[in-house]
């Protein structure tokens, strides 16, 4: 995808060159209330989704882990003790406002000693090839302009035997769930954003961006195209969220 091509920002069609700044504006706006809104919007279930992701990660002492689109650092905070003092976690996000919140969280929790903070674009990761044992990206891939390029960048940074874990909103697979989910997403989420964060528009974008994200099978194929092997996915909460896992050999 070139800068001259179009892409989506929610349901809007915009020049690809504008998406990163538009998404950046959304997350700068919501950064201070991001964790509170996550709990409210998901009724706290996002914590279970992330716990399941960590269970599938097979994290061990001494590993180097990239928490990509790591946002406010809640996943990095949990991975830090799993890799221990001999391991290292790099929390990377393109948005400085989110990283500022992350630094405060990690300092307060006392895990900052084995965590580095890096501002980085998922499509052009500024790390050596083959340097991470695990890459985790939680609720970030749908905001990337060129997802295929980002997957290829992640593949190049993983060491042989390394594993990628993508936790992301997906397509409900339970009969009848779509209608309920649509009502909640488009009627309730923007209202919650307005009441709690004084920002209905950002949460309208959130709902729309979820609908534009590739479904489970499409994302699995994109991972295979990027070079990953043994690509699988696990539907969570009826497919509202899916955890995709791929390995680099």
Question: Which alpha helices (H) appear in the chain, and where do they start and end?
Answer: 16-30, 34-42, 45-57, 74-83, 96-109, 147-157, 177-183, 189-197, 200-212, 216-226
pLDDT over 90 (residue 127): yes
Ordered domains of the chain (ranges, CATH):
6-174+203-247 (3.40.50.150)
Kindly report which listed range (118-127, 142-151, 195-204) carries the lowest average pLDDT score: 195-204
Secondary structure letter of residue 58 according to DSSP: T
| pLDDT top residue among 41 and 107 | 107
Q: Using the structure block, give the residue that is written with the tokens 């084995």.
A: 114
Residues 6+ apart with CB under 8 A from 74: 35, 50, 105
DSSP codes, 188-229: IHHHHHHHHHS-HHHHHHHHHHHHHS--HHHHHHHHHHHT-E
Residues 6+ apart with CB under 8 A from 75: 50, 53, 54, 67, 136, 138
Structure token pair of residue 83:
């890799």
User: Which candidate, 99, 101, 53, 98, places its Cα nearest to that of 78?
Assistant: 53
Residue 56 near residue 233 (C-beta atoms within 8 A): no
Look at residue 56 and give its three-state secondary structure.
helix
pLDDT over 70 (residue 9): no
What digits encode the pLDDT tens for the residues 15-46?
887 777 766 666 676 777 777 777 888 889 99
User: Which candidate, 168, 159, 100, 108, places its Cα nearest to that of 134?
Assistant: 159
Query: Residue 206, Cα to own-chain centre: how many angstroms?
Result: 13
Q: What is the pLDDT of residue 26?
A: 65
Q: What is the pLDDT of residue 39?
A: 83
Look at residue 123 and give its three-state secondary structure.
coil
Q: Residues 44-52: what's their mean pLDDT?
A: 95
Q: Residues 2-27: what's their mean pLDDT?
A: 69
pLDDT over 60 (residue 51): yes
Q: Residues 144-168: what's their mean pLDDT?
A: 97
| pLDDT top residue among 66 and 204 | 66
| pLDDT top residue among 249 and 5 | 249
Rounded to whole angstroms, the Cα distance separating 203 from 193 reads: 6
Kindly report which listed range (5-9, 52-56, 125-129, 201-205) carries the lowest average pLDDT score: 5-9
Q: What is the pLDDT of residue 14?
A: 58
Does the pTM of the predicted model rise above 0.75? yes
Residue 67 confidence class, pLDDT cut points 50, 70, 90: very high
Rounded to whole angstroms, the Cα distance separating 249 from 246 reads: 10
Secondary structure letter of residue 186 according to DSSP: I
């Amino acid at each position: 995808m070139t800068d001259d091509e179009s892409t989506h920002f929610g349901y809007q069609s915009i020049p690809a060159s504008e998406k990163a700044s538009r998404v950046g504006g959304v997350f700068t706006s919501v950064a201070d209330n991001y964790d509170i809104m996550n709990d409210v919007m998901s009724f706290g279930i996002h914590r279970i989704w992330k716990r399941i992701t960590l269970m599938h990660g097979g994290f061990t002492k001494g590993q180097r882990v990239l928490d990509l689109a790591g946002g406010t650092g809640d996943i990095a905070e949990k991975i830090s003790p799993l890799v221990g003092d001999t391991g290292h976690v790099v929390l990377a996000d393109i948005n400085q406002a989110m990283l500022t919140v992350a630094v405060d969280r990690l300092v307060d929790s006392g895990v900052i000693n084995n965590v580095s903070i890096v501002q980085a674009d998922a499509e052009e990761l500024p790390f050596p090839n083959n340097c991470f044992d695990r890459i985790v990206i939680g609720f970030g891939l749908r905001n990337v302009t060129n997802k295929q390029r980002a997957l290829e960048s992640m593949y190049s940074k993983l060491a042989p035997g390394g594993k990628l874990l993508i936790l992301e909103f997906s397509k409900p697979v339970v009969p009848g769930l779509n209608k309920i989910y649509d009502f909640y997403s488009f009627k309730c989420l923007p209202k919650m954003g307005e009441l709690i964060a004084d920002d209905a528009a950002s949460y309208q974008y959130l709902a729309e961006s979820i609908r534009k994200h590739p479904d489970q099978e499409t994302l699995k194929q994109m991972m295979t195209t990027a070079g990953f092997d043994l690509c699988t996915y696990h539907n969570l909460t009826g497919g509202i969220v899916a955890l995709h896992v791929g390995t680099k050999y």
